[in-house]
Amino acid sequence: MIKINYEFYKLANGIEVLLIPNSETYSLTIKSYINSGSALENEKEHGITHFIEHLCSSATEKWPTKESLNETIEFNGGDANAWTSKEAISYYINVPYNKADFGLEYIYQVLFHPKISEEAVEKEKIIILDELSKNMDDVGYRNNSYTTKVISIMNSGYVHEILGTEKSIISFNYLNVEKKIKELHDPSKLQLLIVGNFDVNKTKTLIDKYFNDIKSIYPKEEFPNEKLKKSFIDSGYDNETRLITNTLFFNTPGDIEIPTKQDLQFDVISKIIAGPNSSRLNKRLREKESLLYYISCTHFSYKPFGIIGVYYESIQDQFEKTFNIVIEELKKLAEYGVSKSELNHITEYICNRNLVHYDNIHSYSKLISSTLLNGKEFYELERMNETIKNFSVNEINKSIKQYINLNEVNSIAYGKIDKETTKMMEQVLSKK
């Protein structure tokens, strides 16, 4: 059992801090999270959050070139990176246990003293446009772009690609980028996570040194209350693939409405549908029918909405047969639920995988931070596994009946479809 101690507190300027010390490691990770992702962008700004993430992690006032910054990180034995999502930006660095001061200064510099210029903005445009071109060559990216747009009701930032568009990227300039950096990196939106081998009191002193005196100017923004369609059937043609990708969406509540226990239930249901090889759709479509190479089911949620999604790829000639079987199995699950033996097998699988997945402090920190930094109740691993094992058949079947509703499912086919594809899916679903 990994012994977990953590401390969660807030600075006067609104910055939230989560400390997870553990002396049984030689390193520490410092992560910053900014609660302002691409979902908050307006039409002219599409892609600017991701653009800024690239720009700010390339050079700072103390390390004014990419070369000097990279050499300093290397000299200190670190590695740094960043990412952008619909609801967050993150800059992070991994360093040896004796380099906490450098790690915190790096995050401070990236957030509040990035080195930008008109030349840097123009160079970054070329890099991002190249990245966008590579993504557009990927059929999975095109499928995701198509699917998320057609099931949206509001057409908010949630359904636009994080990278933006060629038009929006070209329009960025030094002045609007500089202004947006200050808005995004405001302390009111900032969370700090430090995990690994560090002295708590010394680290708190360093946090005060770098972050306590920064003033908050811009208030937190409200994320758009995006909603998804129900009972929506559609297909999109793509000539550059020989496959058809089908995505089935079941709507669930958003992240702000889902307690930790409900989140765990959704994970169990997803694994029952198409998780391990023993799951419903894997057994039927892969082992018995030999129709598919891969099928998956996942649950994820943003603040205003969530989904349980089933994803698979099929060759054109087998798509109708595959779709019929998928709907048939989902109908059985919705009507009859899961058996006790099936539930026991899946929950035991999840709990055992959890033990493997969370077998070090850095992985475990994600379990803590994903709940505490999102205002949810934190379950230690033992409690989480106990909760999962104690789910009753009635509990899970009640959630299945509520959320695996074929009368409200969205089904989007993308790829080598024909003019009858949408009609075929509508007819199959109308019979079920």
The boundaries of the domain holding residue 95 are 7-211
Please report which residue ranges of 151-245 form alpha helices under DSSP H.
166-171, 174-184, 200-211
Q: Tell me, rounded to whole angstroms, the distance of Cα 192 from its chain centroid.
A: 18
Quick check: is 338 in a domain? yes
Last residue of a domain, one of 177, 211, 245: 211
Q: Per residue of the chain (432 residues), what is the pLDDT tens digit?
A: 667 899 999 999 999 999 999 998 999 999 999 999 999 999 889 999 999 999 999 999 999 999 999 999 999 999 999 999 999 999 999 999 999 999 999 999 999 999 999 999 999 999 999 999 999 999 999 999 999 999 999 999 999 999 999 999 999 999 999 999 999 999 999 999 999 999 999 999 999 999 999 999 998 889 999 999 999 999 999 999 999 999 999 999 999 999 999 999 999 999 999 999 999 999 999 989 999 999 999 999 999 999 999 999 999 999 999 999 999 999 999 999 999 999 999 999 999 999 999 998 999 999 999 999 998 999 999 999 999 999 999 999 999 999 999 999 999 999 999 999 999 999 999 987
Same domain flag for 322 and 370: yes
Same domain flag for 274 and 170: no
Quick check: is 225 in a domain? no
Quick check: is 407 in a domain? yes
The string of DSSP codes covering 21-72 is E-SSSSEEEEEEEES--GGG--GGGTTHHHHHHHHHTT-BSSS-SHHHHHHH
Quick check: is 218 in a domain? no
Q: What angle do CA 412, 414, 417 make, to 5 degrees?
A: 110
Same domain flag for 15 and 130: yes
Sheet holding 7-10, edge to edge: 7-10, 16-21, 190-196, 27-34, 89-96, 79-84
Same domain flag for 187 and 252: no
Same domain flag for 171 and 290: no
Same domain flag for 144 and 274: no
Same domain flag for 181 and 320: no
Same domain flag for 182 and 237: no
In angstroms, rounded to a whole number, what is the distance separating the alpha carbons of residues 51 and 344?
Answer: 46
Quick check: is 43 in a domain? yes
User: What's the CATH number where 424 sits?
Assistant: 3.30.830.10
Number of domains in the chain: 2
Quick check: is 327 in a domain? yes
Same domain flag for 301 and 421: yes
Same domain flag for 91 and 122: yes
Same domain flag for 204 and 334: no
Quick check: is 140 in a domain? yes
Quick check: is 154 in a domain? yes
